[in-house]
């Protein structure tokens, strides 16, 4: 059971995608609700015992690694990566940005489907600029952790992930050998129920 956590979500990772976590911890939605600086401020100030990051959120945690590694009793990184464009060509992200300017809701629906999320569609009316800012961020952001201790860290990846390939987690494992690693039979989207199972 996880009920004392700070969750840093991924791109278009709305809280509606994780209904089983509702009301149990603090949920941050990068770029739509929280700029990178606001995420970092919450990482520095949180009193939660467990830190969880999904995709872009996990990347942000890795960028702040030296500041967070000793603050939390447990850190769970879901579909993490050091640099998104090491695994997805920047031109694909730029194409997504162009499509976002035309039909953001369709782009988000397609993204969620590619993640393996089969729940009710989440609309992004009014969030397009924040989501575009998030994509621009993914084109240039790179995490270079300076403190690689990871004894209390769990790296989790879906074996059918179509957004960030599983070897992105292996690349992190190479520089964080103390971390444990779990592979789930899912895609990029890792449900709240699966998350609870990884934390047992």
pLDDT of residue 197: 65
Write the CATH number for 24: 3.40.50.1820
What H or E segment, with its residue span, contains residue 113? helix 104-115
Name beta bridge partners: 181.
155
pLDDT digits (tens, 9 = 90+) for 136-178: 999 999 998 765 667 789 999 999 999 999 999 988 988 888 8
pLDDT digits (tens, 9 = 90+) for 96-137: 999 999 999 999 999 999 999 999 888 777 999 999 999 999
pLDDT of residue 199: 56
Q: Which domain holds residue 127?
A: 5-198
pLDDT of residue 54: 97
Give the integer Cα–Cα distance in Å for 166 and 80: 9
pLDDT digits (tens, 9 = 90+) for 34-48: 999 999 999 999 999
pLDDT of residue 195: 77
Give the integer Cα–Cα distance in Å for 8 and 55: 9
Q: What is the pTM of this model?
A: 0.94
pLDDT of residue 18: 93
pLDDT of residue 99: 97
State how many domains the chain has.
1
Report whether pLDDT(27) > 80: yes
Segment 60-88 mean pLDDT: 93
pLDDT digits (tens, 9 = 90+) for 180-200: 999 999 999 998 878 766 655
Segment 63-71 mean pLDDT: 89
- Choose among 85, 99, 77, 97: nearest CA to 152: 77
Give the integer Cα–Cα distance in Å for 183 and 60: 21
181 phi and psi, to 5 degrees?
-135, 135
pLDDT of residue 146: 60
What H or E segment, with its residue span, contains residue 6? strand 5-8
pLDDT of residue 73: 92
């Amino acid at each position: 059971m996880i009920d004392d956590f700070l969750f840093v979500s991924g791109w278009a990772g709305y809280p509606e995608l994780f209904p089983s976590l509702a009301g149990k911890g603090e949920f941050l939605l990068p770029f739509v609700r929280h700029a990178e600086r606001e995420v970092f401020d919450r990482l520095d100030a949180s009193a939660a015992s467990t830190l969880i990051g999904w995709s872009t959120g996990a990347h942000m945690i890795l960028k702040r690694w030296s500041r967070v590694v000793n603050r939390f009793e447990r850190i769970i990184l879901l579909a993490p990566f050091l640099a998104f464009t090491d695994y997805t060509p920047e031109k694909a992200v730029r194409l997504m940005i162009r499509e976002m300017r035309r039909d953001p809701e369709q782009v988000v629906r397609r993204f969620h489907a590619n993640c393996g999320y089969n729940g009710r569609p989440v609309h992004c009316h009014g969030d397009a600029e924040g989501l575009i800012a998030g994509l621009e961020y993914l084109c240039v952001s790179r995490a270079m952790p300076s403190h690689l201790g990871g004894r209390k860290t769990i790296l989790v990846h879906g074996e059918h992930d179509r957004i960030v390939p599983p070897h992105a987690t292996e690349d992190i494992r190479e520089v964080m050998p103390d971390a444990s690693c779990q592979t789930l039979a899912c895609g990029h989207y890792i449900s709240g129920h699966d998350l609870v199972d990884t934390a047992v």
